[in-house]
Homo-oligomer: A and B are copies of this chain.
């Protein structure tokens, strides 16, 4: 039970698209991730997907349009909606997902979520 400084947490790793758990909240993982380049198209059948940009810019491609996010902007991808996050330059993101949900929507291709 301590204050969690997101910038400090982000300074402890450098890999992209590898979410790190920083807190627990109502059976959800609160995570930070460094995004750069194009992630996979995926969807989560049973959960919404929460993105808040902390630094940089993130585009969330949907099948019919794009959502552009800068610092202090958030977007919730509704459950079941296919999306593909893209960052031309490194962006820092706060993510919230139910505990144990694979970041690609598929356990076979998902990154391991480490706690930092």
Contacts and interface: CB of A to CB of B under 8 A. Distances in A.
B72 A54 contact: yes
Interface of A: 1-7, 22-26, 28, 30, 47-48, 50, 52, 54, 62, 67-69, 72-76, 78, 94, 96, 98
Q: How many copies does the complex hold?
A: 2
Contacts of A68: 3
Contacts of A24: 48, 76
A19 to B, nearest CB: 15
Contacts of A47: 26
Contact of A25 (B5, B6, B96): B96
A48 B67 contact: no
